[in-house]
Amino acid sequence: MEIKISNYEIRVLQEACRYAKMEALLEKLLIAKKGFLSGSEEEIDELRNICGDYLAYAGFNENYEATQKGESLENLIDKLFVDSSN
């Protein structure tokens, strides 16, 4: 599975993976051709879970509104959704 992501999304994923102490997972999934993630459904699903945890931690302001980072995390969660029923 290959997923296109922006440079900003890469930076947000790096933050999220540092928070979860899972930097090695992201390094494994980022492929040499910048702007793409590639991995198994399980690895992509794990990365989506990391984004969800980080969204709860750092994605909202004091009024519980999504920040730019939060919106990016929400978009990443959508992009990383693996529909295994297909």
Residue range 62-75, pLDDT digits in tens: 999 999 999 999 99
| DSSP E strands, 5-85 | 36-38
- Note the pLDDT of residue 73: 97
Q: Cα(first)–Cα(last) distance of the chain, in Å?
A: 13
86 has pLDDT over 90: no
In tens, the pLDDT along 29-84 reads 987 667 889 999 999 999 999 999 999 999 999 999 999 999 999 999 999 987 65
Q: Which residues pair with 30 in a beta bridge?
A: 37
